[in-house]
Amino acid sequence: MELEKFVDSLPIPSIIKPNVTYQGKPLYNVRMLETLHKFHRDLPKTKVWGYNGLVPGPTFNVEKNQPVYVRWTNNLPAKHFLPVDKTIHGAHHNPEVRTVVHLHGSPSEPASDGHPEAWFTRNFKQTGPSFVKEIYHYTNRERATALWYHDHALGITRLNVYAGLAGLYFIRDEQERSLPLPKGKYEIPLIVQDRSFNPDGSLFYPAQPDDPSPNLPYPSIVPSFLGNTISVNGKVWPFLKVEPRKYRFRLVNASNTRTYKFQLSNLSSFFLIGTDGGLVERPIKVNSLDVSPAERIDIVVDFSESAGQKVVLQNGFELENPTGEVMEFQVTKNLASLDQSRVPSLLTRIDPIPLNRVRKVRRITLQDSQDEFGRLMLLFDDKKWDDPVTETPLLKSVEVWELVNLTPGIHPIHVHLVNFRVLDRYDENGRLLDPIPADFGLKDTVLVGPGQTVRIIMKFEPFSGDYVWHCHRLEHEDHDMMRPLKIIPPNTYRYKINE
């Protein structure tokens, strides 16, 4: 079934409000529910899993340095509606439906980070081996930025996120509010996910690779997933009517595998003003942006010269395919008032991490391997999830990680707890590459291209304990391209840990 593009208006996710307090702070109650969702005018309602029954989940708007609590409750059925491969880590001998929520980009305490083994089933009837809490604490200490929350259960993250378990979490502060950027109804969230549908309108996710060998289990994990439609805020190829003025778009790539080259069909330039960790120091004028899974971009687009026109947000990697188009901006609304917003030449200051503070340099390879069934596995240093921890930085220490991609694919590498800076990029022959625009901002997920070495620098604070780092192509993460990360308090660092 071929779906017509740009026939559904872009929905804006609702804002969640706390209805009670806990320990004197706001408490949000969020339930994970199975429900029906209308993805497109010509599709029947589709079974999904949503936070509070919404796809995407409700948006959090919180203030910097004002802590909140969230009670995440699993009210999902006992059986998954997508194909669960029970041979991969986490899924073997564990309940089929498990959830745990990760606030992506947040420097949370270990017990509130959404560790993949801190999963829980419906009403906490069964829990994972890691410490499980019913109420999470978010300090909101970080700079104003767009975080996102999503499921992180070991071995089924790809299925749970694809089923609908994702949403946005904005941190606001006075410094950002003081800037003359587009505000209010002119600031629009865009949560981009690719999806495929069965003939009956239900979500399609492959139960096996396209060319399965006879000895593969059924269902079997696939090495990647690329949907044949693009949804934004839960609508397939939507449109948005806009005024001929500047808009600010807060965009997250929430797709399982797909990397996008976001550009405008009229080839006009726009400004990158923020990345994963908030505003960049100075706006960067761009014609396109490469955004891999889990990365966020904060951009300002000026439609003032496009009155009466239709401008399509494109994926420049796939212009010959239907998935080369993401959504349409229809510049058909009258200007409500004079546009007094602007993009200032200085947005913020980002404190550098001095290289002379570096305690350790780690060189980590990203490489191909195979599992016992002959399936492709992508690993770090040829180590699996269950191998002993090797990344054990000291609390408040500074490290440089050299991520060496020996594979032919893109890997978005996400490190929990920290924001980091990108130092530089090299090709497979050791030649220095030009930075990509997002490299100039604070990051928690970095795009590492095929054959590239990317060096990142980070300070491991403010908490010690058990975290993880992983590829954010969810099929890779679920199949052992994830490793434990243990932050060691200084007073316990008396013995040699395997580094």
* Distances from the Cα of 339 to the Cα of 29, 183, 243, 246, 299, angstroms: 38, 11, 10, 7, 17
28 and 131 inside one domain: yes
In a domain, residue 157? The reply is: yes
166 and 198 inside one domain: no
153 and 243 inside one domain: no
Comparing CA positions, the residue from 57, 55, 325, 59 lying closest to residue 188 is 59
Q: State pLDDT tens for residues 17-27.
A: 998 999 999 99
Residue 450 to residue 445: CA distance in whole angstroms:
16
145 and 192 inside one domain: no
Residue 233 to residue 231: CA distance in whole angstroms:
7
Residue 439 sits in a domain whose CATH number is: 2.60.40.420
29 and 146 inside one domain: yes
467 pairs with which residues across the strands? 485
Report residue 368 as tokens.
Answer: 């191909």
Report residue 85 as tokens.
Answer: 């491969």
In a domain, residue 339? The reply is: no
Q: What single-letter DSSP state applies at residue 294?
A: T
Please answer whether residues 307 and 244 qualify as being in contact, where contact means their C-beta atoms are separated by less than 8 angstroms.
yes
196 and 147 inside one domain: no
Comparing CA positions, the residue from 483, 480, 482, 475 lying closest to residue 162 is 475
State which of 172, 195, 223 marks the end of a domain: 172
Residue 289 to residue 65: CA distance in whole angstroms:
31
Comparing CA positions, the residue from 197, 152, 144 lying closest to residue 169 is 144
Q: What single-letter DSSP state applies at residue 318?
A: G
* Helix (H) / strand (E) containing 474: helix 474-477
Residue 78 to residue 365: CA distance in whole angstroms:
38
Report residue 206 as tokens.
Answer: 């492959």
| 426: containing domain | 355-492
Q: State pLDDT tens for residues 66-97.
A: 999 999 999 999 999 999 999 999 999 999 99
Report residue 392 as tokens.
Answer: 């054990």
Measured in degrees and rounded to the nearest 5, phi and psi for residue 46 equal -115, 140
263 and 375 inside one domain: no
Q: Which residues contact 185 (CB under 8 A, 6 or more apart)?
A: none
The total number of structural domains in the chain stands at 3
In a domain, residue 350? The reply is: no
State which of 172, 206, 234 marks the end of a domain: 172
SS3 per-residue string spanning 348-380: CCCCCCCHHHEEEEEEEEEEEEECCCCCEEEEE
96 and 223 inside one domain: no
In a domain, residue 391? The reply is: yes
404 and 301 inside one domain: no
422 and 306 inside one domain: no
pLDDT per residue, tens digit, the chain (499 aa), is: 789 999 999 999 999 999 899 999 999 999 999 999 999 999 999 999 999 999 999 999 999 999 999 999 999 999 999 999 999 999 999 999 999 999 999 999 999 999 999 999 999 999 999 999 999 999 999 999 999 999 999 999 999 999 999 999 999 999 999 999 999 999 999 999 999 999 999 999 999 998 878 889 999 999 999 999 999 999 999 999 999 999 999 999 999 999 999 999 999 999 999 999 999 999 999 999 999 999 999 999 999 999 999 999 999 999 999 999 999 999 999 999 999 999 999 999 999 999 999 999 999 999 999 999 999 999 999 999 999 999 999 999 999 999 999 999 999 999 999 999 999 999 999 999 999 999 999 999 999 999 999 999 999 999 999 999 999 999 999 999 999 999 999 876 444 433 3
State which of 112, 137, 172 marks the end of a domain: 172
pLDDT for the residue numbered 441 = 98
Q: What percent of the chain has pLDDT over 90?
A: 96
In a domain, residue 4? The reply is: no
In a domain, residue 3? The reply is: no
152 and 190 inside one domain: no
In a domain, residue 336? The reply is: no
In a domain, residue 335? The reply is: no
Report residue 266 as tokens.
Answer: 């009229």
Model pTM?
Answer: 0.97
27 and 166 inside one domain: yes
Sheet containing 411-415, strands listed edge to edge, beginning at the edge strand earlier in sequence = 445-448, 411-415, 465-471, 482-487
Q: What SS3 class is residue 41?
A: coil
